[in-house]
Structures are given as structure tokens and as C-alpha cells.
Structure 1
Amino acid sequence: MRRGRALADRSEFELNKFRADGRDRLLSLMPLTSYMSSANIGFAAVRDGDALLRANVVRIGGYLFVHARMPAATVVWPRDEHSADRVAAIVAESPALHVTSEAQVVARRGASFLIPPGTAPVTIEATEPLELVFVTLDATDFATRRRMGFDRISRQAMSEASIRPMVTFVKALCAVESEVAEVGVSPLADAACEVACSIVAALVGEHAPELSLPNAIMKILLRDYASPTLSLSAVAVMLGVSTRTVQSALSAQGRTFSGSLLEIRLKAATELRRHNPTMTLDAVARATGFGTRQSLHRAMRKVSMPSS
């Protein structure tokens, strides 16, 4: 486990793409510490001889984001004094994932798991190949940001529909074109850290203090703009109000839903491109919710057209 390197500045973005093929290769791996230094994780068993592992790993300071396609296998997170203060959230695309420990593990519907800080080993088992998102962060930083702890965990978490856009954001954050490590400054760093905290808070199940409706709408747009499926109706469902109520709340501030979302996405795309000039337009479009380069170009032309 790498211990000599200090945590990177929160705005520093580091990405690695990890690939491993075959049971022997996976079992002979040392814990994936060169990619996940804050989570000393390694394979304990692999079901298939031709198993494949694909993982994109992003580190932003003390925050770690992983989008992985995992084979049918058993992974162990032994944890130690260096990872005792880490909290982790796992959201899988299949119910074939099981997470167990002698310490507390919170399992939610839809194959979502919260692993509070502690030192007891954690076993993560996939009974079939599946896709998952793994996020880990420092519990103290989470408590400072959200004024929440893990001593009171609700019996019910937020709905899966409310967590899904945040998972989509993490996938977009981890998606790049190149096959090599990339390091740089990302304008999405603060948003990514906020999304990580939001996923953990959603799984804890405590409700944050209520915001005014316009502020609540804008918070969702700032948090979930990277999801290409974000829509007026989706925001209304998240807030438990009608689409007309959302439109009226924004209209009272001289805004529209589509205009606000477009403004946020274009600003993010501009900043992402400026700070990462080697990043392709396709990758920028995916990371900022446009989906395709063509959609990004259309949006840019739209705002550049003179008003009649």
C-alpha cells in the first residue's frame, strides 16, 4: 500500500484505466494499491479461468471513484489503521453482488451498499459478472461537509431513482478515451466530491435540511447535469412536485429549466476543455451531459446565435 504520498489537492484529477485478464492474473495481483491507495483491495477467488476485469479509477484528493466491470469473483478489503476512517458506497447494476463483514454493512434495495468506517475486513462477492460503481472518501470530510455521522442510519434510504443520476455522474467522470493515466486539474472536482457525499448521505438515509424550491432545483442541476437523461420530469419526481411547479419556481427567477441546464452544461464543458486541452470533444460531451459531440456543437451554436 502506498503510504508516502500525501493526498492530492482536491482540485487535482488523476485517472487510471486498469485491465486484467484471466483467473491466474487476477489472483496473482497484489492488492490494487497502485490504483486505489486508500483501499487495500485484492482478489481472493475468481470463478472463471478467462475472467476479465475492467476498471476506470479516478482520484481527487482523498476521494476515490471507480467504475468497474467485475467478473464472478470474491474481493476482500482487509482494511487497516490507514483505511479505518474510510467510508465506502457501492452501487451495482445487478442483485448478484453481496457485501458482508463482521462490522456493519448497510444493504439497500437495488444492490446498493454502504460500508461505514471501521477496521473489520469486508468481503465483496459477485456471483456473476456485473457492473458497479465504488466510491470511497474520508469519513471526517463527509461529516464536515454534511454534518452527518454514522451513528444513526435510517431504516430506509432515498429511492433508487434519486441515486441513479449520481451514479451516472460517476460513470461519466471515469470515462475517457485514452488508455494511459491522466493527471490534471478538473473543474468538475468539487462537483464530484459533492456527488460522492450525496451518494453516501442517500445510503445513510438521513434527510438534509430543506432548501427553497428554486435552490433545490438548481442544486439538482449542478449535481446531476452530467446525466444525459436529466429532464424536467425527472427533477420534478426527485422533488415530489409537478413539472408545472418546477417551471413556475424557475420562471419567478427569470429562468427556464432547459436554459438553466444548458448554461450549466456549457460552462462545465468550456472549463473542462480549457483545463484539459488534450481531452477529446467526445469525452467532454459525455462528461458534461451532452452525450455526443454533435449535441455539444448544436448547443454551442444555439447560444452563439444573435437573438432576433
Structure 2
Amino acid sequence: MIHLRDIGVNLVVAMLLGTAASGEALSVGDKPRIDMHTLGGEILDFQKLAGRITIFEFWATWCGPCIRELPHLKKIHETYKDQGVILISVNRDESEGTATRFITKNKMDWIHVHDPSQKPQYASVWGVRAIPHAFILSPEGEVLWRGHPAGMDQPLSDALKLHPPQIGDRAEDAIDLVTAPRPIVSMQAPGLRIHTNILKGKVRRAQRAHDSHDFYQAYRICNWINDRVSGGDEVQWARDWIGKYESNPSIMEQVGRQRTADEVRRMLSMAKNYESNGRLNEAKKYYEAVLDNYPDTKYTPTAKAALDKLM
């Protein structure tokens, strides 16, 4: 069981429903509706967040460019948190546990949302095709800017001048403005029952993956067990191996490379689907996103060749 106050992280699971259709990118001027719930089941009262500038930043622990942006995000948070600016990071890792450990270890003391890359809900609604990616919303909730967070400083400065926050207290206090508190939920989802044989099978698969040096698959399976089961020998075994993997930089580098490859393959698949359906502009955006965000993978030439054909 995880209690947010115990780890000092406001990790939230949210529903971000935009005015654009699913998969269609939000544009400047759009006004998404935002309903959020904390991992503990508390409801964030966004009426009390009204009047503040909000930054949404999509990222993942396996994304090298995202990690390189972390010092920049910390600086933005520290600089503007008392000026009416709220930072909300949307994590794309498959595992909430992986995200939580990273967030806690790196003292990312702002609001966090989980949106797993294998079952994207929020990124697809907001039209996020590559990470890192950020949005700046006005005090009225309209999109003022979107793009790579490295280029966020000037748009944020402009937003503060042209759309000054209308608040009287510290912006970070709004994080605690919740209504209808509910009990903390178990790590095992309600109604989910995992048979012992399934768990033992998962352990065997993880062990085989580890023995064959496929640390990515082993790490994924261990996180699957850790996130879905609240206790038992298999969970402790998985947690022990997660700790060993995460303390080994070379293994985590391999995990990051393979996760990046998975993300690039997913983006290329989306591009090809759009292309086959005649939606060439959408296909181009995905190919361009691969080239812009993942220029050094073995799939980059494929994306470049496909984009050249469409130009």
C-alpha cells in the first residue's frame, strides 16, 4: 500500500478529456476539461486551481531527453511555484512503481499523473506523439503553447505577462485543496485476483529472461508483479530484482534502449496506419516526431525514407 504523504509525492491518476477528438492534437486556444483523482482516491478540486497557469509535461524514466530536462523542470518549479504556476508531469512508464520510485528518488515534489505507454489514455487525447512534450495552459484553462519543454522558458514568461495568475496565496497550496477524501486503495486493483499458478509462471518467465540477459523483459515482468499483487513471496522476489536492476546502470541503460525502441516502433506503426488510410498529414507528424526525438535509433532511416516519400 502506498500513501502519497509517506513518499512525499503527489502522484495522481487523472482523466484528461480534451475538446479535440482522441488522437487529434490540442491546438493553441483549445480548452481541455481536466478531472483528476489522486492515487489515494481523493478528488482534486480544479475550481480552486482556476486563476493559475498550469504546465503539463509528458515524460518517462526510460526517455533520455526527458531525464536531461529534469534539472530544467526543477528550476522552473522552484522559480515559479510561488508565482501562481502549477507543474503537472504525466509519466508514460508502464509501471506506476517505476515512476513512483524515480519521482521519490529524484525529489520531484510536484504533481504527477500516470499514463502508461502501452495503454495511453491522456497522451492520445492530447495528441502527444513524442516525449518530452509540454503544454502551458492559461488561468482560464486555454492552451497557450505546446512543444518541447526545453523551449518553454520564453512562452512561460510571456504567459505570466499576458495572462497573469489571479491568486492571493501560494500556488503550491492548491495541491492540498481536495474534496471528498476516500480511503487509500490497495496496490492490487479492486476485484483483481491473480492465481498462484499465473504468478509462478510470471516468475519463471522473468527468470528465463534474466538468464538469457533479456533484462528488459525481466524488469517488465517484475514490475508487472509488483504493481498488481499486494504481498507474498513472488512480490518480494520481484521487488528484490527490481532493486538489483535499478542499482545497475548498465542494465538500466539496456532497459532504456529497448523501451525507446518499443516507443519508436509504436510511432512508426501509427504513422503507417495513418498512411494506409490516406491521412498523410498525420502520418508525416509521426515520422517527423521519430526523426526529431529519436534521431539515433536503427529505425530512424525507415522514418526518414517514409517521410521523404510523402514530401
The reply to whether TM is greater than 0.5 is no
Structure with the largest fraction of helix: 2
Asked which structure has the greater RCO (Cα within 8 Å, sep 6+), the reply is 2
